[in-house]
Amino acid sequence: MTPWYVMAFLLASLGVVFWPRRGLRARWRVSQALARRIRREDALKHILKCEANGRMATLNSLAGSLQITTSDAAQLLKEMGEHDLLTFEGGKLHLRPTGRTMGLHIIRAHRLWESYLAEQTGLAEVEWHSRAEEKEHLLTPEEADQLAARLGHPTLDPHGDAIPEADGVLEGDAGRSLNSVEPNTPVQITHVEDEPETIYRQLVAQGLRPGMRAFVIDKSPTHIRFWADGSENVLAPILAENVSVKPLQGFQTEDLVEEEFLSGLRPGERTRVIGLSAACRGQERRRLLDLGFVAGTPVEVDMVSPAGDPTAYRLRGSVVALRREQANLIRTSSKEVVTS
């Protein structure tokens, strides 16, 4: 005869596994359902992005984007068709209204969450994309609207991607590849692609961000050398392909070279603030603007600490001490430097 405590243990074990809604089996089913939904939403996002940029999403492109086999991708498309999310006619994928709405929401939620991470947290830049990849599937449309309002309804995310309206359309990537720019043509960086992550990390390490002013110095089949916001950079063409730019009207390369950073100003010199670097975001940007470092403001070195850092700057009748890394975020004009 089985001892009572053995029977109690068996019953408790069965309860842990099969308990409705709370048991391991029920939780496993919920997690599997969530994983399937996330995969469908990621597929919709890929198809909608391809469409916005004038490309055709294919079975192979979908498999590559989701990092699954083509067999799994085919099964996924079949399931999405059964959910009335898309059709596959004449060898082409077509989003149904429901699928288009879902895909647009996921992209909007992702870009809004990246904007939140960039502006409201101190999270490292290379982590924005992966964190947003997780959160995008959890935000409801109502929560996305609330987040947009909290951020002041931004139109671009930190990478330069357009943030669509809830009932709008998805815009394609702005600008053209840095690889296509002829030498000595002033341009502005409009977009830094955040996928794949390995390439994005290298671009971040170079300090490249949307909003930077640049021009190509020279290029070859193995590299492209260019100036951007006060420094010279070198990228392999495969990396440069992930940087988009647009023509910078009304500027010559000489104008761009004359731009420096406040950290280069020496004691006894004064100049004029041109603006803040594109690398300056969130609380740091708001603080510097509140201190008066806005375009057109005259600024001069008041004193330098014995260790050389920080430096005190005089502007608008007050003195502000900044570390070198902070002064490196403030763009100034070298041609307007004068000695007191």
Look up the CATH number of the domain holding residue 236.
2.30.30.90
Q: Are residues 273 and 308 in the same domain?
A: yes
Query: Would you say residue 227 lies in a domain?
Result: yes
Q: How many CA atoms lie within 13 A of 157 on its CB side?
A: 28
Q: Are residues 283 and 241 in the same domain?
A: no
Q: Please name every residue paired with 218 in a beta bridge, in sequence order, or none if there are none.
A: 225
Q: Are residues 282 and 314 in the same domain?
A: yes
Query: Would you say residue 73 lies in a domain?
Result: yes
Residue pointed to by tokens 């999405």: 80
Q: Are residues 34 and 86 in the same domain?
A: yes
113 phi and psi angles, rounded to 5 deg: -70, -35
Query: Would you say residue 121 lies in a domain?
Result: no
Q: Which long-range contacts (CB under 8 A, 24 or more apart) does 318-322 make?
A: 318/292, 320/291, 320/292, 322/262
Alpha carbon distance 109, 121 (integer Å): 17
Q: Are residues 199 and 240 in the same domain?
A: yes
Q: Could you tell me the residue range of the domain that residue 315 belongs to? A: 259-339
Q: Are residues 84 and 68 in the same domain?
A: yes
Q: Are residues 180 and 252 in the same domain?
A: yes
Boundary residue ending a domain (256, 281, 300): 256
210 phi and psi angles, rounded to 5 deg: -60, 145
Collapsed DSSP state (helix, strand, coil) of residue 272: strand
Query: Would you say residue 222 lies in a domain?
Result: yes
pLDDT tens by residue, the chain, 340 residues: 456 555 565 555 555 555 666 665 556 465 666 678 889 999 999 999 999 988 889 889 989 988 899 999 999 999 999 999 998 877 788 899 999 999 999 999 999 999 999 888 878 888 999 999 989 999 999 999 999 999 999 999 999 899 999 989 999 887 899 999 999 999 999 999 988 888 999 998 888 989 888 999 999 999 999 998 878 899 999 999 999 999 988 888 887 877 788 888 888 888 889 888 877 877 888 889 998 999 889 998 888 888 878 899 998 888 999 998 888 888 887 766 667 6
Cβ-contact 269, 339 below 8 angstroms: yes
Query: Would you say residue 135 lies in a domain?
Result: no
Q: Are residues 191 and 249 in the same domain?
A: yes
Q: Are residues 237 and 286 in the same domain?
A: no
Query: Would you say residue 42 lies in a domain?
Result: yes
Q: Are residues 210 and 238 in the same domain?
A: yes
Total tally of structural domains belonging to the chain: 3
Q: Are residues 235 and 272 in the same domain?
A: no
Domain CATH code at residue 29: 1.10.10.10
Q: Which long-range contacts (CB under 8 A, 24 or more apart) does 77-83 make?
A: 77/43, 79/36, 79/40, 80/40, 80/43, 80/44, 83/40
Dihedral angle over CA of 9, 11, 16, 17, nearest 10: 120
Boundary residue ending a domain (256, 284, 312): 256
Query: Would you say residue 170 lies in a domain?
Result: no
Boundary residue ending a domain (95, 125, 151): 95
Dihedral angle over CA of 291, 292, 294, 298, nearest 10: -130
Query: Would you say residue 83 lies in a domain?
Result: yes
Q: Are residues 76 and 38 in the same domain?
A: yes
